[in-house]
Amino acid sequence: MRAVVMAGGEGTRLRPLTSNQPKPMVSLCGKPCMEYIVELLTKHGFDETVVTLMFLPKVIRDYFGDGSALGASMQYSVEQSPAGTAGSVKLAEDYLRDDTFIVISGDALTDFDLSEIVAFHKQRGAMVTIALKRVENPLEFGVVVINEEGRIERFLEKPTWGQVFSDTVNTGIYVLEPEVFDHIPADVSFDFSQDLFPKLFEMGAPLYGYVAEGYWQDIGSLPQYLTANCDLLDGKVQASIPGIELKHRIFVGESINLDSIENISGPAYIGNYAKIAETASIGKYTVLGNNVVVKDHAETRHCVIGSNTYIGASAKVLGTILGKNCDVKAGATLSEGVAVGDESVIGEQAYIAPDVKIYPFKSVESGAQINSSIIWESRGSSQLFGKDGIVGLINVDITAELALRVAMAYGTVLKKGERVTTSRDAHPASRVIKRALICGLSSTGVVVRDLRVASSAINRFEVKNGSSQGGLHVRISSWDPEMIQIQVFEPPGVNLGEKRQKDIEKYYGRQDFRRAFYSEFGELEFPDRAMETYVRGLLNSWDGERIRSRAYRLVIDYSYSPASLTLPNILGDLGAEVLSMRAFNDQRHASLAADELGANIQEVQRLVRTMEADMGIIIGPGAERVYIVDERGQEVPLEKALLLYVKLVAQHAAKGEKIVLPLTVTRLAERLAGEFGVEVQRTKVSVPALAQASTEHGVVFAGTLGGGYIFPEFLPAFDAVMSLGKLLELLAPQAGPLSEQVAQIPASTLVHKTVACPWSLKGTVMRTATEHVQRDLAGDGEISLVDGIQLRRDGGWVQLLPDADEPVFHVYAEGADHADSERLAEGFLEVVRGVIRDNIE
């Protein structure tokens, strides 16, 4: 007799264990599940086997080959498209037409006496015999009702409790006569239990069920998979576990490195070449694959750990399934019900909450608390907040569920009854996320003031003028339309500080949220005068008469931003003649890629020349940044634009007032501002640091090279509307057109280089560079470690800055000329390259 092993299933309920391997290949105590089935078949004389394959067929073929290693002769039949259980067997009809054959699943564990089932089949003269098993909970299986002789009287697929008339279920093991092929159509999906058996039953064909004794366990879910491993260790299955059996049913493979067996509690399975430290604790029902390393004081219990996985010192793996080639760092804790896919990394001191699934090739950062599954995202982070707030892929990293929990954590930090202003851009994804934020805040007793669609500047202004104790703004990323940002503000309208961020992350990680009583839910308000208040604040911050005196002619590209809701009327009141473009909100244009920005700038340049306008302005999608075109239709470079603002602000500032700039801006700023007795103060290279520094006493302006400018007396944040109005005011009394003002700004010799560096080597690079500077380069120079490493000497400076979001280092340098700048930059570049070279080679 011949056998068919069905091994085409994907095993979706077993993911992430089956994300990159077929379900029959999941390991049970050191062997693939299907290997136990093949051994059972050969034990009962089924030494000729055809295996039906579909999902990742090469994995199974490469492992079993022709079957000779197991004393069998194996052939393979691959489904090119889903054919159903009966249809897949139909594909092997030519091989099976000669005699009675048995069909068995390759993804279940059993020790049934197959010979007895075949004998029963022949004795009854059956066309089909189904092996049945009595189970406590038949709801997940197909129930089969038989009479006293074993003839099938009824089928019921996955019944409810009200439909359960028997506890005998279909195990997926069938003995069949070749004539069943006459009733299986070709080239269509056709199933045994749903199609073939009901059809034969209606025909009155001899269908029988045999209630088998022995062990049978479907491995359809992660708990069932763990149960199967435990049952093998307990000896509930008559099957051969690889290795040598020691006392207390401890099975060990070849060349095991054990300092002591006393730290292993049976039953347990230890695969070939495993290394277990003497102080490690290997608890009951631990299954370790080949080459697993368990370090000092680590603890495992009731878990399955795949081959080539590393368990760091003091880590805890309890009730967990770990895939192959994983790296669990020191002190990490993996809780009951956790499943981790192949080649994943769990960082030091990370905590994975019960029942979390982490799919293959993912990373969890050190110290992270992971309470929800990581499926599509690349890594689980220990931090919610990045340099731009909470940022991630839409509906992948940033979901409505995450937004709800973030808002509940934020609301927990605030007091009941405090107010938070919410706003968003026009994109529907932003609407979904904002609504989830509103729900989360309200559930903690926080009052929400919803501005609907508005710029972040209006939200910040609400926080600054005392209308709210905090703000949340949701928008599509300005550089990637698939990314979304949640920005969080605190008084006086700046990004949330690190202390509050840590508080939110603490509550978020613990899922320890305040719950409002039924009478304390936060109200939802829709302030109708917020925009009017904002506009009034803008007009009070500008010298309107000075702007009107110039009678500007402008071309403005609004980039579909919320600035189009306020600026047109303001400019009309200021006497400006304006040609507007893209002056409405459009959800399809919530971000602006570099090529789109370039095309828009070119269009503005053309219109400026055609209209003979005084200037053109391109406003970024978030209404935060501005890009300038002069009256000749030439784009003003971002560095020159920033220095122009510095010069104009310094001209109108009082002596002793300050301008704040990042460390990486050219030192020409000091020369331009110093002519008017204005000090330039340097800050870290981040927008939050710049905004925070702008709130200090005496600061009148802050800016970056990206077109973002801050006038803190009005608002300590980027605001394109404020930036444009202030530029018009400052230029009004100047003689000559804009191009002449720009031409008076000297050219800098600043150079900017980047060099790729693996994440794992960033710390080494910083240490090596610091030692290098202190030992070899300092001399009579000056070293600053405010942000990265900066060396100043001989009238020049060079800075090494690690990128917070990418595996990259930035090097900025400014010397006497470009050649000198290049030389300065090359010194730090070589340090980075040297560290990478030494550690990779």
Percentage of residues in the chain having pLDDT higher than 90:
49
User: Is pLDDT of 288 > 50?
Assistant: yes
Tens digits of residue pLDDT in 294-338:
999 999 999 999 999 999 999 999 999 999 989 999 999 999 999
Contact 807, 757 (CB under 8 A): yes
Query: What Cα–Cα distance (Å) separates residue 667 from each residue in 371, 627, 731?
Result: 47, 22, 23
How much is the mean pLDDT over the chain? 88
What integer is the mean pLDDT of 283-292?
Answer: 93
- Residues 561 and 549: their CA atoms lie apart, in Å, by 28
pLDDT of 585:
66
H-helix segments, 523-653: 530-541, 544-550, 567-573, 594-611, 638-652
At 47 the pLDDT is 85
Q: Are residues 85 and 107 in contact, defined by beta-carbon separation less than 8 angstroms? A: no
Q: Report pLDDT for 784.
A: 82
Provide the pLDDT for residue 164. 46
Would you give the DSSP letter of residue 117? Answer: H
Strands 351-352 and 333-334: parallel
pLDDT reported for residue 376:
59
CB atoms within 10 A of CB 95: 16
Who's near 717: CB < 8 A, 6+ residues apart? Answer: 456, 457, 460, 489, 493, 494, 495, 624, 691, 710
- The CA distance from 337 to 342, in Å, is 16
pLDDT of residue 467: 87
d(CA 577, CA 568): 10
Q: Give the integer Cα–Cα distance in Å for 191 and 187.
A: 12
How far apart CA 683 and CA 689 sit, in angstroms, is 7
457: left (phi over 0), alpha (psi -120 to 50) or beta: alpha
pLDDT at 79: 82
DSSP codes joined into one string, 506-559: HHHHHT------TT-PPPEE--SSHHHHHHHHHHHHS-HHHHHHH--EEEEE-T
DSSP of 135-184, one letter per residue?
A: -S-GGGSEEEEE-TT-BEEEEEES--GGG---SEEEEEEEEE-GGGGGGS
Q: For 55, how many CA atoms within 13 A lie in the half-sphere containing its CB?
A: 18
> Which tokens in the block code for residue 527?
């302030």
Is 798 in a helix, a strand, or coil? strand
| pLDDT computed for residue 161 by the predictor | 45
Does 783 or 416 have the greater pLDDT score?
416
Q: Mean pLDDT over residues 416-433, rounded? A: 94
Highest mean pLDDT among 146-155, 205-214, 660-669, 790-799: 660-669
Question: What six digits make up the tokens of 103?
Answer: 């069909």
pLDDT single digits (tens) 691-705:
999 999 999 999 999
pLDDT at 779 exceeding the cut of 80: no
pLDDT in tens, 708-735: 999 999 999 999 999 999 999 999 998 8
Cα(346)–Cα(334) distance, integer angstroms: 9
How do residues 610-631 score in pLDDT, each as one tens digit? Answer: 999 999 999 988 899 999 999 9
pLDDT of residue 712: 95
Higher pLDDT, 384 or 748: 748
Question: For 173-211, how does the pLDDT look when each residue is reduced to its tens digit (9 = 90+)?
Answer: 999 999 998 898 887 888 888 888 888 888 888 999 898
Cα–Cα separations (whole angstroms), residue 113 to 90, 116, 131, 242: 25, 6, 10, 21
List Cβ neighbours of 43 (8 Å cut-off, separation of 6 or more).
none
Sign of CA dihedral 154, 157, 158, 161: negative
Res 378 pLDDT > 70: no
Q: Grade residue 139 by pLDDT with cuts at 50, 70 and 90.
A: low
Task: Specify the pLDDT at position 588.
Answer: 62
Higher-scoring residue by pLDDT: 705, 138: 705
Token look-up 């400018």 returns: 709
Give the integer Cα–Cα distance in Å for 646 and 662.
Answer: 13
Asked whether residue 813 carries a pLDDT value surpassing 90, the answer given is yes
Query: Given a cut of 50, is residue 163 above it in pLDDT?
Result: no
In this prediction the pTM is 0.63
pLDDT band at 749; cut points 50, 70, 90? very high
Amino acid at the residue 451: L
pLDDT, average across residues 451-479 = 92
Residues 6+ apart with CB under 8 A from 740: none
Angstrom distances, CA of residue 540 to CA of 422, 431, 468: 25, 32, 21
Residue type, 213: E
Confidence of residue 162 (pLDDT cuts 50, 70, 90): very low
Which band of pLDDT confidence, cut at 50, 70 and 90, is reported for residue 587?
low
Q: Looking at the predicted structure, is the pLDDT value of residue 377 above 70?
A: no
- The arithmetic mean of pLDDT across residues 560-567, rounded, is 88
Q: Can you read off the two tokens belonging to residue 126?
A: 């059956």
